[in-house]
Amino acid sequence: MNKKNRLYYYYRMFKWKILGDRTPIAAAIKITQRCNLKCKHCTWQNKITKDLSFAEWKNIIDDLYKQGVRVIVIEGGEPTLHRDASQIVEYIKSKDIYIIYITNGTQDISTINPDVFWISIDGMRDTHNHLRGPNVFEKMIETLKKNQNKKIISLTTLSKTNAKDVEPLCEYFSQSNLLYGLMFHFSYPYNDIKDPTLNAVERREIAQNMIQLKKKYPKLMNSESYLKTVGGEKKCYPWLLVVVTADGKQQQGCMVRHIEKEDCSKCDMGCYGELSRFYEFKRDTNKFWSKNFGLPRLF
């Protein structure tokens, strides 16, 4: 990140903290909600089945940029099913916005070039296939092998089903060059979720263990500041993020509100957790965002 960008972020921090401005810095855009999988824990897939065109997404991206968004997470559904996925990525890049692209790893991603991929890995082979479907783990590993020239980080959403797989995943991927890093967070107990979620005590215990595992596995990327808040009292600043659904509807703030009334005592979603710690000037969280996700070092 160059100095100009660092100054820009100081300017944004000044506006947020001193002037009380509440404009977002990041956006999660669901360019399609269609998906080729039917994961047990999914709340979003196929809720909207029609995709917007590239021209419509260009307008949305222009608008997000004007609002102050400088990091975009492309997600779904499986975003690769949008016929213009790579064009959308290139357009975002042309605007000097950092792009994170979330995929389930079953589709061809060779022609898509975001700054970083987050690939969904829900556990070791049996767990992953139990949650996502037969042979999905094997397909995802094939995708990793074919795309070793790309920066790919795993994203694991923890529930009662896969909590036991944290260390085996760290061990497995530390032995190979398939991933740049591993990132974990916790599933939210939406009313219609089929995969059993963890309670606050269990989440806290797992997060405390992860703080220890970070010493053994440097690829485990979550910031200690985020992990320390898991399962306990913390402040969330959900307005830092705006969510755009596949029909183009924008909603700044809490993602849960798209689906149902939120309950913060049950939530340890990593995107909001890590962004909120960044806003609180936690040094290790700033390092986490700057090393891996395009935000500059501010302190």
* 255 contacts: CB under 8 Å, gap ≥ 6: 28, 238, 241, 243, 269, 271, 272
Q: What Rg, from alpha-carbon coordinates, does the chain have? A: 18
Question: Is residue 104 close enough to count as binding ligand SF4 by CB under 6 A?
Answer: yes
Under the binding rule (CB under 6 A), the answer on residue 222 touching ligand SF4 is: no
Nearer to ligand SF4, 1 or 124 (CB): 124
Asked if 272 touches ligand SF4 (CB under 6 A), the answer is yes
- Tokens found for residue 265: 């005592």
- Quick check: 162 binds ligand SF4 (CB under 6 A)? no
Q: Establish if 45 lies at the interface with ligand SF4 (CB under 6 A).
A: yes
Tokens representing 193 are 């979720």
Please say whether the beta carbons of 179 and 148 come within 8 A: no
Residue 249's contacts (CB-CB under 8 Å, 6 or more residues apart) are none
140 binds ligand SF4 (CB under 6 A): no
Q: How many CA atoms lie within 13 A of 158 on its CB side?
A: 27
User: Least distance (Å) from ligand SF4 to the CB of residue 23?
Assistant: 17
Please tell me whether residue 38 binds ligand SF4 under the rule CB under 6 A: yes
Answer yes or no whether residue 78 interacts with ligand SF4 by CB under 6 A: yes
Among 25, 27, 28, 35, contact with ligand SF4 (rule: CB under 6 A): 35
Cβ contact 24:240 at 8 Å: yes
Q: Rule CB under 6 A: say whether 101 interacts with ligand SF4.
A: no
Q: Which two tokens stand for residue 95?
A: 């605007």
Interface with ligand SF4 includes 44 (CB under 6 A)? Answer: yes
Based on the number of CB atoms within 10 Å of its own CB, is 64 exposed (0-12), middle (13-18) or buried (19 or more)? buried
Could you tell me how many residues of this chain bind ligand SF4 (CB under 6 A)? Answer: 20
**List of residues contacting ligand SF4 (CB under 6 A):** 35, 37-39, 42, 44-45, 76-78, 104, 236, 238, 254, 256, 262, 264, 267, 269, 272
